[in-house]
Amino acid sequence: LRPVVHLRTGKVELIGTFEQLFLNIAIRKEDVRPGLTTHMDMSPMHMLSLVASMTPFSDFNQSPRNMYQCQMGKQTMATPCHSYKHRTDNKMYRIQTPQRPIVRTRALDDYNTDEFPTGTNAIVAVITYTGYDMEDAMIINKGSYERGFKHGSVYTTTMVDLAEKRMSGAKDQRFSNKASDGSVICEDLDEDGL
């Protein structure tokens, strides 16, 4: 939903994508046409989506480049949450060494994205190098890679049905936090191993 100010009442309205087609919304006060304009954006940045507003220097890019960046921004391996051990998602990706962007837009502060970083800063030399000048390729320093550059984790949830395994003739299986000698395996787990 997009927050806009209704010019007649002065109140903030949240309008949906289908409503926007039938409203005349001004971006700035200079754009208001008396008798025609009904609403005005609260900020010129509200014209952009969340991902588009985080693209630095978007006014210097071609429009297709900005749209391409918006699609790539949705696919980043980021920090999706801070409650990993309480989540039950089937699959979740997490970047290991996230960093805040060097070049920032105001939207990054407005949406507090430093709590959930979406990438790492890379120093890139744009040169042709013995035929490796492909469009979307990058040669990475081995030392940087070994220190964790662009490393990520995949969290998966696996469901194990112990009753089904027992019926198939498998050896009796159970979850537990005790080793065969009776010692505790992990202090953070309950007695049943969960």
Q: What pLDDT score does 26 carry?
A: 92
Q: What is this structure's pTM?
A: 0.60
pLDDT cut 70: percent of the chain above it? 86
Q: What pLDDT score does 104 carry?
A: 87
Q: What pLDDT score does 133 carry?
A: 60
Rounded mean pLDDT of the chain?
A: 82
pLDDT digits (tens, 9 = 90+) for 17-71: 898 888 899 988 999 999 899 999 988 887 788 888 888 888 898 989 989 888 8
SS (H, E, C) the chain: CEEEEECCCCCEEEECHHHHCCCCEECCHHHCCCCCCCEEECCHHHHCCHHHHCCCCHHHCCHHHHHHHHHHHCCCCCCCCCCHHHCCCCEEEEECCCCCCCCCCHHHHHCCHHHCCCCCCCCCCCCCCCCCCCCCCCCCCHHHHHCCCCCEEEEECCCCCHHHHHHCCCCCCCCCCECCCCCECCCCCCCCCC
Confidence of residue 72 (pLDDT cuts 50, 70, 90): confident
Give the single-character DSSP code of 45: G
pLDDT cut 90: percent of the chain above it? 12
Asked if pLDDT for residue 163 goes beyond 80, the answer is no
